[in-house]
Structure 1
Amino acid sequence: MDRLYLMTVFVAVAEEGGFAAGARKLELSPPAVTRAIAALEERLGLRLLERTTRHVRVTQAGQRYLDDARRIIAAVDEADEAAAGINAAPRGHLAVTAPMLFGRMYVMPGIVDYLQRYPGTEVSAVFVDRVTNLLEEGLDVAVRIGELPDSSLRALQVGQVRRIIVASPAYLKASGTPRHPAEIGRHTVIAATGASTQPEWRFIEEMKLQSYKVQPRLTVTSNDAAIEAARCGLGLARLLSYQAAPWIASGDLLPVLQEFELPPVPVNIVHRDGRHGSARVRTFIDLLAERLRGDPGLA
């Protein structure tokens, strides 16, 4: 059997978690998938999958082969698209991920624009507040906020954001505007975190990093909730600048302690495509980068 075909079958079975599911994805019969996996394991002389009555699990050797097979299949797809022409209209499925609130505010409008421009495409959007593994989770493009670790991923910086303290005009009128981070202890604090009941807020004072423990009166697990509580006048909230940008522009929130802010952190579009990149990935990155670079909330 053709080796690329065997790799494709193996990747489908591994990603779908079963022979029957892999067969459905590839529109093959279950016996054909079983024969392909058996032929691949015989060719390699090792066990790629462990079967039980209910589950299929990739072996340690199989995981290494799975990573390589994904890269090879992606490279072949790239070569096919390059041969068809660099200006070919993008087609097929694209998987995109971003932080939850950033995805809703900034990435989703770009996805809608992309789908309207290119009728032959489909997009899966995964908006989660964790660092995803593009290769293991089958994702094509990610938006990352913060410094990037060394990796094989390609990155394109499209903006930057800052950590800021905000409050409503009504709260600041009633409770006063803090002029120094040490005054935060006298204010009501809203913490957008579930990790600690006593989070630390960090600032730059006289060129040095200083940390202040805060005792939140309200702790929430979403930035949306923290923004709403601050808009309602409860107290001070610490957010990324893009999260508060619409409400600062409308006057619902005001930034404080700006002279003590930490340095800004970059916003990058990262992807795992090779040198040329598929048309669907390339066109999406170009479109999203243009939109993000033109947004004042990321300047």
Structure 2
Amino acid sequence: MSRYREMQAFDAVARSGSLAAGARLLELSTATVMRLVAALETRLQCQLLVRSPRGVTLSASGEAFATSCRQILQGIDESEGSLDGLQAHPAGQLNLSLPLLMADRIFAPIALDYLAAFPEVRLASRHREDLPRLLEDGIDVALVIGALPDSSGFAVPVGTVRPVICAAPGYLARHGVPQAPEDLKAHRIIVSGSQGAVSEWRFRHQDSARSVRLAPRLSCSTTHAAIRAASLELGLTRCMSHEAHAELSSGRLQVVLQDYAAPGLPVQLIYREGRRAAARVRTFLDFVVPRLRAHPALRG
């Protein structure tokens, strides 16, 4: 087993925090990664990992060697291909993570254009609403909504979305337009997800918070279904502005209670490695960022 492969296995374990996660990162079996790290420890005559029933941690020597190991591997990578060469030939699989309705309604056309421009790249998309762990989950680029912790990686802002309450114009014509959150108690309410028999909607007005507890008339399994039900004049629903962008733009839905809306939320692309990121990541960001920023659904 080569020294490079041993160091690569140790670096993957050190960065990911476990043998299993390191194995996934390298697309190897956990047993193979264990053998590679053990061979490295034998060659160096030093224990790099402290093994316990709860997993592995770096020893004091392992922490010191991890820094040197990463520098060596980066030097090898830089020697094997210049930035221009890598930039000119992006290839391989790019793993993405983004919210479902963001993918369906906004991102899909942009992704198809990117694939047409870079035919040697493959896209694999995962749909999730929460913040992914890039390294542990094997994600190259994630589109996320909301504030980010400092440990999320590199972030590129692409826009803003906001929560909205909306209904079809026909419904509002028959039942009236609510003027204050309390007016919602007299309306048919549509919710998505498992919110139970009572749903609490929160609002802000003149820097003060307030909430209203509502009994939904209709509970849908997905946000898309709730938006569809609202567009069919079945009641009012609450969603994010980008989720109902098509319906709001066409006039099928109308926003109400705008004076009580919560602040907008940032939309960001996050990724790892910064300028050292693979060519497919850099070209993807260069391609999609201006297009997302220009999309009307992300202008809050």
Normalised to the residue count of structure 1, the TM-score between the two structures is 0.81
SS in 1 for 2:137: coil
Go from structure 1 to structure 2 and tell me whether the alpha carbon gap of 1:14 and 1:263 turns closer, same or farther (over 3 Å shift).
same
CA-based RMSD of the aligned residues comes to 3.4
Query: Contact between 1:81 and 1:279, CA under 8 Å: does it hold in 2?
Result: no
Go from structure 1 to structure 2 and tell me whether the alpha carbon gap of 1:235 and 1:74 turns closer, same or farther (over 3 Å shift).
farther
2:55 to 55, 59, 68: 59
Go from structure 1 to structure 2 and tell me whether the alpha carbon gap of 1:71 and 1:200 turns closer, same or farther (over 3 Å shift).
farther
Show the counterpart of 1:156. 156
Query: Contact between 2:144 and 2:268, CA under 8 Å: does it hold in 1?
Result: yes
Distance 2:246 2:260 in 1: 22
Go from structure 1 to structure 2 and tell me whether the alpha carbon gap of 1:153 and 1:209 turns closer, same or farther (over 3 Å shift).
same
Query: Are 2:24 and 1:22 aligned?
Result: no
SS in 1 for 2:211: strand
CA deviations 1:197-251 (Å, max 9, x no partner) are 4332122223312111222122233211111111121111001001111011112
Go from structure 1 to structure 2 and tell me whether the alpha carbon gap of 1:189 and 1:297 turns closer, same or farther (over 3 Å shift).
same
Distance 1:217 1:93 in 2: 45
Distance 2:70 2:153 in 1: 12
Go from structure 1 to structure 2 and tell me whether the alpha carbon gap of 1:283 and 1:170 turns closer, same or farther (over 3 Å shift).
same
Measure how far apart 1:38 and its partner are: 3.9
Measure how far apart 1:144 and its partner are: 0.8
Instruction: Work out the percentage of aligned pairs sharing the same amino acid.
Output: 35
Name which of structure 1's ranges 160-169 and 32-41 shifts more when overlaid on structure 2.
Answer: 32-41
SS in 1 for 2:270: strand
Measure how far apart 1:190 and its partner are: 0.9
SS in 1 for 2:28: helix
Measure how far apart 1:150 and its partner are: 1.9
Measure how far apart 1:127 and its partner are: 1.1
Go from structure 1 to structure 2 and tell me whether the alpha carbon gap of 1:35 and 1:256 turns closer, same or farther (over 3 Å shift).
closer
Measure how far apart 1:7 and its partner are: 4.4
Name which of structure 1's ranges 288-297 and 149-158 shifts more when overlaid on structure 2.
Answer: 149-158
Show the counterpart of 1:191. 191
Normalised to the residue count of structure 2, the TM-score between the two structures is 0.81
2:47 to 45, 48, 58: 45
Residue type at the aligned position of 1:59: G
SS in 2 for 1:182: helix
Measure how far apart 1:254 and its partner are: 1.0
Go from structure 1 to structure 2 and tell me whether the alpha carbon gap of 1:247 and 1:40 turns closer, same or farther (over 3 Å shift).
same
Name which of structure 1's ranges 286-295 and 75-84 shifts more when overlaid on structure 2.
Answer: 75-84
Aligned pairs (5 A) from 1:75-154: 75=74, 79=78, 80-83=80-83, 85=85, 87-154=87-154
Measure how far apart 1:17 and its partner are: 6.9
Show the counterpart of 1:261. 261
Residue type at the aligned position of 2:256: V
Query: Contact between 2:9 and 2:22, CA under 8 Å: does it hold in 1?
Result: no
Go from structure 1 to structure 2 and tell me whether the alpha carbon gap of 1:186 and 1:34 turns closer, same or farther (over 3 Å shift).
closer
SS in 1 for 2:216: coil
Distance 1:35 1:203 in 2: 56
Query: Contact between 1:75 and 1:274, CA under 8 Å: does it hold in 2?
Result: no
Measure how far apart 1:72 and its partner are: 7.1
Query: Contact between 2:97 and 2:142, CA under 8 Å: does it hold in 1?
Result: yes
SS in 2 for 1:104: helix
Go from structure 1 to structure 2 and tell me whether the alpha carbon gap of 1:102 and 1:73 turns closer, same or farther (over 3 Å shift).
farther
Name which of structure 1's ranges 3-12 and 106-115 shifts more when overlaid on structure 2.
Answer: 3-12
Measure how far apart 1:88 and its partner are: 2.0
Go from structure 1 to structure 2 and tell me whether the alpha carbon gap of 1:251 and 1:75 turns closer, same or farther (over 3 Å shift).
farther
Measure how far apart 1:9 and its partner are: 5.1
CA deviations 1:107-160 (Å, max 9, x no partner) are 222222221111221121111222211011111101111111222511111110
Query: Are 2:171 and 1:179 aligned?
Result: no
Distance 1:157 1:138 in 2: 22
Go from structure 1 to structure 2 and tell me whether the alpha carbon gap of 1:149 and 1:217 turns closer, same or farther (over 3 Å shift).
same
Show the counterpart of 1:230. 230
Residue type at the aligned position of 2:47: G
Distance 1:104 1:131 in 2: 18
Show the counterpart of 1:53. none
